[in-house]
A and B are shown apart, each in its own frame.
Chain A
Amino acid sequence: MAADLRTRLGHIELPNPILTASGCAGSGRELAQFFDVSKIGAIVTKSVMLAPRAGRPSPRMAETPSGMLNSIGLQGPGVDAFLQRDLPWLLSRGARAVVSIAGGTVEEYAELAGRLSDAAGVTAIEVNISCPNVEHRGQVFACDPGAAAAVIEAVRGRARYDIPVFAKLSPDVTDIVGIARACVSAGADGLSMINTLLGMSIDPDTMRPALAGLTGGLSGPAIRPIAVRCVWQVREAFPDVPIIGMGGVRTGQDALELILAGASMVGVGTTIFHDPSACVRILRELDEELAQRGVERLSDVVGLAHEPRAAARRKRAGTVL
């Protein structure tokens, strides 16, 4: 019947592997109108920055085939308001809070890690390194192994020892394994992937870019094969590093695909805009998918796609997988 869905976020055990993807669930409050936020593995918050931020001008989004482009620009009230209002609210609901942080300098990331460590109740920190480095001509941290490592090292150094630090990787790189290696060497307890891909859309009526910010992040089912590829490659290189897989997950079967590629947790993002109760639905569907295949423990199938011989052996033994 129901499979054992427990999984590990670093040393912390989660009841199940379904998380929200950062930026698609606010701080959980809005989604709580549609489902019990304590029922999923964790709420990954919208990226928190030190100072309040107004974001980019509108229009901020454009629909694309099986996806969307967004250029929100990390609008948010800043870490003070987050710690005062959002985090206590999440905890009061019994939700596990994975706090995504974003910054423009290494020091800003480190300071955020420190602030979050001083507050009680942060389950883990996810470091959104897909931000322009203001001290380095705006080059995105996630696109340079050295810069990515510097951020992770600073965050790991400042975060309390028992708070796992996950680095969120961008797929817009030539060698994602290289960036993953840099982050793991710098002390990341795990990796999240993938962030959005940079895209653009032009409105044929106005004959101008559809987004005020010109370019935007592409998300949704359109990018799922890229997510599967990234998770696969990184798992192949670092089989022991926990991965939160995300990118276009819409159904329990999609979640299973990322799990088979090597993710031990799965983030649900853009699909939430389409279906606000998607997280609990996908959790239920994943449970059913595992049950149909006779899988008793989620951990048995994490990264299973990498082991063709093992799978074949089980098949011979009569277990349908």
Chain B
Amino acid sequence: MEAGPVQVRGTVLTVRRIDAYYAMTVVAPGVAARFRPGQFVAVAVGGPDTSMLLRRAFSIHDVRPDHGGTVEFIFAARGRGTRWLAQCRARDVLDVTGPLGRPFPVPRDPVSCLLIGGGYGSAPLFPLAARLRERRCSVDFLLGAATGDRVFGALTARRTGRTATVTTEDGSLGNRGIVTDMLSQVIHEARTDVIYACGPMPMLRQVTALASRYEIPVQALVEESMACGIGVCMTCVLPVAGSDGITRMVRSCVDGPVFRGQQVRWDDIGTIPFDAFGAPGWEPRPRQRAAQASNAAGPGGPAAASAQAGDGQSRRPPGRAGHGS
């Protein structure tokens, strides 16, 4: 498990205000060394005698080799835990586990990639963009938020992307509207082969729906609330259809947070779909029974219910679905 996560006591290097958000840089050597774009850290908040037991999960925005390896993540000081984080100062020590979750799969071929971010959901897209450029993929950005100060990374996107389109609901930055208003136009102009998206669930659902119309595969990074981030608490589940056609309640922390958008049952999030594996009254059909048995016998992977769904989707290179060239 040399590539697995580590738990480190990380020293805070900087806490910066960036528009409506905070950027925190922590010295976390093992985490930085293992990081791949799309992965996240889970941070304990409130100090040693905290009354806040649940870790807070944040997508990693950047890693750097200085001080033996640092990670940076972006957050909004919205709740008690994130407000506590926001008042941390340089040299404070945080308990950090990471890198967690399955990273974004990257295409083998130099294809045209569109990266869509809602709010600070764009944070994990920047290290991904760097990785994609290494693979000679072209990178276009489509970023949106309610207001201009909540669009994260618009400048970097303009500087590093082939194109960068910004939408705000109040029109204070870029085009007035939401990202999906601009999506068709951007897809046509950029001749998009693959979409990577991160942001609120409704945005991911709409992006997936629109992209499916053009038969463009979507890799969606979900922001489900988690208690542990490592796959033991089972709180961050959502219904995802596996490549065998069976829907399972899978953990977004270890089977995600990156999923093939077309396999997530967006409309059923917050429910147990009646046909989900193990739903009340659920009976395996003969075909499913066979699939279940063969999958259960497969090596490695996390708990049976989830490994099957995970295997089919997040490891598959997105450029493969017949949209390249």
Contact residues of A between 259 and 313, Cβ < 8 Å to B:
270-277
A66 touches B234 (CB 8 A): no
Complex Cα–Cα for A51 and B292 (A): 12
Q: Which 5 A-B pairs have the closest CB atoms?
A: A52-B278, A77-B304, A81-B304, A54-B278, A273-B228
| Residue A114 lies at the interface, judged by CB distance under 8 Å to chain B | no
In the complex, which residues of chain A have a beta carbon less than 8 angstroms from the beta carbon of B280?
54
Most buried by B among A27, A56, A77, A270: A77
| Residue B276 lies at the interface, judged by CB distance under 8 Å to chain A | yes
In the complex, which residues of chain A have a beta carbon less than 8 angstroms from the beta carbon of B292?
52, 81
Digit string of A123-164 for contact with B (CB within 8 Å is 1, else 0)? 000000000000000000000000000000000000000000
The interface of chain B, by Cβ under 8 A from chain A, is 1, 4-5, 7, 44, 51-55, 95, 97, 224-225, 227-228, 230-238, 248-249, 254, 269-272, 276-280, 282, 292, 296-297, 302-305
In the complex, which residues of chain B have a beta carbon less than 8 angstroms from the beta carbon of A24?
232-233
Complex Cα–Cα for A68 and B249 (A): 21
Q: How many chain A residues have a CB neighbour from B under 8 Å? A: 49
CB distance from A180 to the nearest CB of B (A): 28
In the complex, which residues of chain B have a beta carbon less than 8 angstroms from the beta carbon of A199?
none
B249 touches A273 (CB 8 A): no
Contact residues of A between 206 and 256, Cβ < 8 Å to B:
212, 220-221
From A27, A51, A70, A86, contact of B278 by CB (8 A): A51
Most buried by B among A46, A272, A273: A273
A54 touches B55 (CB 8 A): no
B279 touches A54 (CB 8 A): yes
From B231, B277, B296, B297, contact of A30 by CB (8 A): B231
CB distance from A82 to the nearest CB of B (A): 8
CB distance from B79 to the nearest CB of A (A): 9
A60 touches B296 (CB 8 A): no
B232 touches A26 (CB 8 A): yes
A-B residue pairs in contact (CB < 8 Å), sample of 13: A24-B233, A29-B302, A34-B5, A53-B278, A68-B227, A70-B227, A77-B304, A77-B305, A81-B304, A81-B305, A85-B296, A221-B51, A276-B228
B234 touches A57 (CB 8 A): no
| Residue A55 lies at the interface, judged by CB distance under 8 Å to chain B | yes
In the complex, which residues of chain A have a beta carbon less than 8 angstroms from the beta carbon of B233?
24, 61, 70, 72, 273
CB distance from A134 to the nearest CB of B (A): 11
Most buried by A among B227, B238, B279, B297: B227
| Residue A197 lies at the interface, judged by CB distance under 8 Å to chain B | no
If the complex has contacts A30-B254, A273-B227, are A52 and B7 also in contact, measured as CB distance less than 8 A? no
A60 touches B5 (CB 8 A): no
CB distance from A113 to the nearest CB of B (A): 21
In the complex, which residues of chain A have a beta carbon less than 8 angstroms from the beta carbon of B249?
54-55, 75
Digit string of A70-110 for contact with B (CB within 8 Å is 1, else 0)? 10100111101100111000000000000000000000000
The interface of chain A, by Cβ under 8 A from chain B, is 24-27, 29-34, 46, 51-61, 63, 65-68, 70, 72, 75-78, 80-81, 84-86, 212, 220-221, 270-277
Given contact pairs A26-B303, A54-B277, a sample of 17 additional A-B residue pairs in the complex whose CB atoms are under 8 Å apart: A29-B302, A30-B230, A52-B282, A52-B305, A54-B248, A55-B234, A55-B237, A55-B278, A75-B234, A77-B296, A80-B296, A220-B53, A273-B233, A274-B54, A275-B95, A276-B97, A276-B228
B276 touches A66 (CB 8 A): no
B7 touches A277 (CB 8 A): yes
From B1, B238, B303, contact of A58 by CB (8 A): B238
Q: In this complex, what residue of B is CB-closest to A35? A: B7
A77 touches B237 (CB 8 A): no
In the complex, which residues of chain B have a beta carbon less than 8 angstroms from the beta carbon of A58?
224, 235-238, 269-270
Q: In this complex, what residue of B is CB-closest to A49? A: B278
CB distance from B201 to the nearest CB of A (A): 11
In the complex, which residues of chain A have a beta carbon less than 8 angstroms from the beta carbon of B302?
29-30
B303 touches A57 (CB 8 A): no
In the complex, which residues of chain B have a beta carbon less than 8 angstroms from the beta carbon of A68?
53-54, 227
Most buried by B among A29, A32, A68, A276: A276
Complex Cα–Cα for A30 and B272 (A): 24
B53 touches A66 (CB 8 A): yes
Complex Cα–Cα for A60 and B227 (A): 10
CB distance from A37 to the nearest CB of B (A): 12
Complex Cα–Cα for A146 and B314 (A): 49
Complex Cα–Cα for A99 and B96 (A): 30
Complex Cα–Cα for A12 and B302 (A): 30
Most buried by A among B52, B55, B248, B305: B305
A76 touches B4 (CB 8 A): no
In the complex, which residues of chain A have a beta carbon less than 8 angstroms from the beta carbon of B225?
59, 61
B231 touches A26 (CB 8 A): yes
Complex Cα–Cα for A80 and B305 (A): 12
B53 touches A78 (CB 8 A): no
In the complex, which residues of chain A have a beta carbon less than 8 angstroms from the beta carbon of B228?
272-273, 276
From A51, A55, A61, A275, contact of B227 by CB (8 A): A61
CB distance from B293 to the nearest CB of A (A): 8
CB distance from A207 to the nearest CB of B (A): 17
Complex Cα–Cα for A220 and B53 (A): 8
Complex Cα–Cα for A267 and B254 (A): 24
Complex Cα–Cα for A60 and B1 (A): 29
Q: In this complex, what residue of A is CB-closest to B306? A: A77
Complex Cα–Cα for A80 and B277 (A): 14
CB distance from A271 to the nearest CB of B (A): 7
Complex Cα–Cα for A236 and B239 (A): 47
Complex Cα–Cα for A168 and B233 (A): 19
